[in-house]
Amino acid sequence: MAKLNLNFENRIIKLVALILFGVLFSASLCNKPDIPSQGQPRAQQGRILVRKGSLPQQTSTAEHTAPAATSIEKYSINLMWINTTSDPDRKYISSAKSADEFKTKVIIPVCKWAKSNPGAAVILWYDSFYTTPASVTASRQILDSTLVECGNLHAQLRDIREIPIVHMNPDVFSDQTPVYFRVDLLKPIIIVDSIERGKNDAAIYTDLEVGDLRKDGGRMGKDELFKPSVMQELSQVGLVLGVDAMRKTENQFFQLVRNERMIEAIKVVVVNINFIRAITALNEKRSNATEEQLDNPLYQLFGPVGKINALPFLSMINNLFPYYNGLAGGEPVKVLARLVEPDAKEGDWIDYHPRKHGYVPLGIMTSRDTTPVSEYNGKLFAYWNLLRNPKNFNFGSRNDLDVKAGSSHPPLYVSRGKANAADGVYRYHLWD
């Protein structure tokens, strides 16, 4: 394809058109990746494309005695603003152009949560890689003054790079990957880290807009956050997701309690798999992208890096709860034995353990709109022949968030660059 020579105005027009086009159509690229890793055997590498599955439904289970909200003594409420890339002219940690806009859109929601939850640690997270020290200082000043105005409330402004697993994966959380991918992956990481390192009994992630549709415009307090019906869900599965105004399960809101099995499930089938997908896509781009492709907006949108955009969200919806079900003593997810054990009998199925069997069955190169085909050890497999989810499992959700309907992630441009690692190769570190 010929190299595109567009002036700035034409690029903007083309970007808008491509975003609209991309919502309706996703092109497919299927190149065999090379996956440099830490502790991942090369025999576990391959390529796989996975389509979006149907939303699992709540099913009946044995009776559980739900703990009362009073058993939650220490909890955190986490909000976040992550920028696409650096901008030295940005005044605040967000894209706000004025102090009033920043206060209204970012700080007031933080203060509302702090007012409703005086006993919680309320934290607004930002990414120091894509903010300037001056913008952080200005943002902190507005946060501190607004907290005083609203009644001497307490909240913190913190850098996501403080979180060890984020610090260990600079390539994954760089502007080489789509911002929606980073944001959706950071949400579960933040709440797990809050429980493990922060020693909280529970941790909540909430988008800034959650609660905007409440009659009083306020936010839920502790009694409402941990009301009996929610605690019943949490006692069964350890995590609940939010349901938006259109009754769709979304990732605008996560609520996690200390549940070691759910934390393990999040690390394995949400976080680690998407570390691998990101690095696979980045190295595919590094190895194979031509100068013409790098200048082609279609490649930026639909190439290997663009295609990972929505995958952390899809991991939460499609893989997390079935996998947790097996860890919690229910029917486990099964994997086709010959995929991970070449000497297995034809048609045999075994319990799937990603840390043992590798991540290929979950989908290394994958997109919600591509044909579900995998190549592994020289054989082709259809996705529905790889994993067998249990027929019945719990899916935790709550529908009282008073938030507008979530929107699909539009495809966005990613950085034109090929590599920012010291030796020119992207790497990941898995979460133990």
Model confidence over 408-425: pLDDT tens digits? Answer: 556 555 565 555 565 678
Q: Give the pLDDT band (50/70/90) at residue 322.
A: very high
Domain assignment of residue 418, yes or no: no
pLDDT score of 37 more than 60: no
Same domain (yes/no): 164, 207: yes
Same domain (yes/no): 163, 304: no
The mean of the pLDDT values for the chain is 79
Give the structural domain span for 74: 69-258
Q: Give the pLDDT band (50/70/90) at residue 75.
A: very high
pLDDT (average), residues 304-320: 88
Same domain (yes/no): 46, 80: no
Tokens of 402: 């008073």
Same domain (yes/no): 173, 308: no
Same domain (yes/no): 83, 230: yes
**Which has the higher per-residue pLDDT, 401 or 159?**
159
pLDDT (average), residues 72-76: 96
Q: Give the pLDDT band (50/70/90) at residue 69.
A: low
- Could you report how far apart the first and last alpha carbons of the chain are, in Å? 43
pLDDT computed for residue 24 by the predictor = 35
Same domain (yes/no): 123, 232: yes
Domain assignment of residue 21, yes or no: no
**Which has the higher per-residue pLDDT, 27 or 417?**
417
Domain assignment of residue 309, yes or no: yes
pLDDT computed for residue 106 by the predictor = 98
Same domain (yes/no): 244, 300: no
Instruction: Using the 3D structure, point to which of 200, 224, 258 is the last residue of a domain.
Output: 258
Same domain (yes/no): 297, 351: yes
Could you write out the DSSP letters of every residue in 226-290? T-HHHHHHHHHHSEEEEE-TTS-EEEEEEEEES-HHHHHHHIIIIIIHHHHHHHHHHHHHHHH--
pLDDT (average), residues 391-397: 87
Domain assignment of residue 420, yes or no: no
Question: By the 8 A CB rule, do 252 and 210 touch?
Answer: yes
Q: Give the pLDDT band (50/70/90) at residue 406.
A: low
pLDDT score of 27 more than 80: no
pLDDT score of 190 more than 50: yes
Same domain (yes/no): 251, 278: no
Domain count, the chain: 2
pLDDT computed for residue 47 by the predictor = 28
Could you write out the DSSP letters of every residue in 110-164? HHHHHHH-TTSEEEEEE-GGGS-HHHHHHHHHHHHHHHHHTTS---EEEEGGGSH
pLDDT computed for residue 358 by the predictor = 84
Domain assignment of residue 429, yes or no: no
CATH number, domain of 220, equals 3.90.550
pLDDT (average), residues 141-164: 98
pLDDT tens-digit series, residues 250-270? 889 999 999 999 999 999 999
pLDDT computed for residue 88 by the predictor = 95
pLDDT score of 285 more than 50: yes
Domain assignment of residue 4, yes or no: no
Domain assignment of residue 403, yes or no: no
pLDDT score of 28 more than 70: no
Same domain (yes/no): 322, 218: no
Beta bridge partners of 122: 77
pLDDT (average), residues 57-81: 67
Same domain (yes/no): 237, 277: no
pLDDT score of 381 more than 70: no
pLDDT score of 169 more than 90: yes
pLDDT computed for residue 222 by the predictor = 96
Same domain (yes/no): 157, 175: yes
Domain assignment of residue 145, yes or no: yes
Instruction: Using the 3D structure, point to which of 233, 258, 283 is the last residue of a domain.
Output: 258
Nearest to 82 by CA among 139, 150, 36, 129: 129
pLDDT computed for residue 89 by the predictor = 95
Question: By the 8 A CB rule, do 392 and 331 touch?
Answer: yes
Most confident segment among 204-218, 242-256, 401-415: 204-218
Question: By the 8 A CB rule, do 213 and 403 touch?
Answer: yes
Instruction: Using the 3D structure, point to which of 371, 388, 405 is the last residue of a domain.
Output: 388
**Which has the higher per-residue pLDDT, 167 or 301?**
167
